[in-house]
Structure 1
Amino acid sequence: MSNDIRTLDAATLAHLQSWVGKIETLSDDITAAPVRALSATLDRDDALPVPGTALAPLWHWLYFLPLHRQSEIGPDGHAKRGGFLPPVPLPRRMWAGGRLQWRPENPLVVGDAVKRISRIESVTHKAGRTGDLLFVLVKHEVHNAQGLALTEEHDIVYRAIEQAPTLGTGVSSPPPEGALASRGGPVPPPVAAGQGAAWQREVTPDAVLLFRYSALTFNGHRIHYDRPYVTEVEGYPGLIVHGPLIATLLVDLVRRHAPGASIQSFNFKALRPTFDLHPFRLNGQPSADGKGVKLWAQDHEGWLTMQGSAEFS
């Protein structure tokens, strides 16, 4: 796949949109080992999980992993295009955000045999200043023996690459269109993060943290752990912190400050990438009625990198 692809012709777009309605069904088991490992990775002092231990919100990302054969992996560490997701020829694939809804009466627990039914809900085209963008919306439904436990909408954005590598776009932590320009190009002003949050935590995203999270989620994308590749080939200033890891840390902030709260829904959107070069800050501001919390992450310069919200049951 050439890195200079910038536009999609009508025939290619029609072919990609034929993926709408495609369904994939996967099965897995909620085992204890990944729960123990993520607890250690997030520096938590949790009790050892046993059968029946409830899975923390977003920790279902430890399961239904992308188990592609080694021969199916491309040079960037991702699986080659095609399969369940449409084979979009645009070179940048980005995890832009998501919306999740849990059923408190039916939590996922260690020991569950689970099934995830995924459906391509939409494939939407947009012409951007630096080339085309394609938005793919995937809806996941996770079931256990008692029925539906979790619904998740996952936003994926594919975009063209500028003539010079961008300074911070990746599958797991994308900016919106135009948020970062190529080297030497104009950079639109970032958004300042809110200050004075009631809940705050500083995180140092070192290479070990990123490697461990990549390993736990079987994420082979080299931008998260291969410094020579990410700086010399992709042209980024450092390793890119996984968007799902930042989202998980935002929810973990809620668990640390409101351990008795039961999260029923969580929405998040990635705005700017976070690199491993500096610590970043997690922020949470509970609502006045105590029914939810506004959440956001900021980089070392105070720019907003991810925003979200959680509602309690």
Structure 2
Amino acid sequence: MTMAEARQQDWIGRTETRTGCLTADLAGMLAGALGHAAAPVPDLAPGAPMPPLWHWAAFPEFVPLSELGTDGHPRLGGFLPPLPYARRMWAGGRLRFEGGFAIGEALQKRSEILAVDEKQGATGPMVFVRVGHRIEGAAGGLIEEEQDIVYLDIPETFTPPRKLPLPEAPAFDERVVVNEARLFRYSAATYNAHRIHYDLPYAREVEKYPSLVVHGPMQASLVMEAGLRHVGGAPRAFRFRGVHPMFADEDMRLIGTRTEDGAVELCTGTPSGHQCLQARLEVA
């Protein structure tokens, strides 16, 4: 193990604890970002059930502007390790649910760095940081979550991943309009200043993307809502991973297929016919 790898491993086991709350105002902001023609408007009053995955907006990082990196993310070295890579992305995650949360309910989150793994990808070296979260509500609800955060270098030119075809004959296939206003609203609701989602010159000239990038968590929230609406029940487990960037120059398709074990295989896709985010939903 090199000295750099040893320093990376020193971050394993680091923890932080935070309190949070999805207020009615924040819930309204999320509803404005995630709403579309096929989805009913949720009850946003204090005490109403919190839609699944909306806890992602309940713990904003109030970092001063002076402590942001050039990409808009908080600078590394606080809770997350300061790795020498210019691009940082949320690559996927896994969640298990017990009960639920309410809008306005006090929440407690304990986070821990579980693993720091260096790998060789198609475009060069990358490091995956696996972060565990335990989110507990004052009324007894619980979410156990793991997030995979990937660090890698920015390439000189954008080389897209292999495009995976969309499922044939799905149980549902909905379309969501994607535009700059939706991306801005989701960034605002989640207090996410990563510039690839709203700053087109930065996305193109610095991070080498062809267009603005659609948030992975927003895709996950939209496709999970569609899955629950079509199959019913309460979420028991959910996992997702990005397989291709989604860009704001195409609308989003929400696609789901039932499996023999009662789960739902989900994906987001493009009208041109390839997957962007894959997911699996299990319901109780």
Give the TM-score range, shorter chain: over 0.9
Residue 250 of structure 2 is matched in structure 1 by 278
Q: How does 1:1-313 map to 2 (within 5 A)?
A: 10-43=2-35, 44-104=39-99, 107-147=100-140, 149-162=142-155, 164-167=156-159, 179=161, 189-258=162-231, 260-288=232-260, 291-313=262-284
Q: 1:46 aligns to what SS in structure 2? A: coil
Do 1:167 and 1:235's aligned partners in 2 also have CA atoms closer than 8 Å?
no
Q: Deviations over 1:7-66 (max 9, x none)?
A: xx9212211110000001010123111112222322254354233211111110111112
Separation of aligned partners in 1, 2:266 and 2:64: 37
Shift of 1:154: 0.2
Q: 1:228 aligns to what SS in structure 2? A: helix
Shift of 1:72: 0.3
Separation of aligned partners in 1, 2:202 and 2:243: 23
Unaligned runs of 5+ in 2: none
Q: How high is the TM-score relative to the length of structure 2?
A: 0.93
Do 2:34 and 2:218's aligned partners in 1 also have CA atoms closer than 8 Å?
no
Q: 2:226 aligns to what SS in structure 1? A: helix
Aligned residues: 281
Q: Deviations over 1:209-229 (max 9, x none)?
A: 000000000000110011121
Shift of 1:288: 4.3
CA 1:210–1:98 in 2, change beyond 3 Å: closer, same or farther? same
Q: Deviations over 1:284-311 (max 9, x none)?
A: 112346x321101122321121111101
AA in 2 matched with 1:157: V
Q: What is the percentage of aligned positions where both structures have the same residue?
A: 38
Separation of aligned partners in 2, 1:153 and 1:80: 21
Residue 183 of structure 1 is matched in structure 2 by none
Separation of aligned partners in 1, 2:51 and 2:102: 9
Separation of aligned partners in 2, 1:292 and 1:138: 25
Unaligned runs of 5+ in 1: 1-8, 169-178, 180-188
RMSD: 1.8
Structure 1 segments, 4+ long, off by >6 Å, are none
AA in 1 matched with 2:186: Y
Shift of 1:167: 4.8
Separation of aligned partners in 1, 2:217 and 2:242: 9
Q: How high is the TM-score relative to the length of structure 1?
A: 0.85
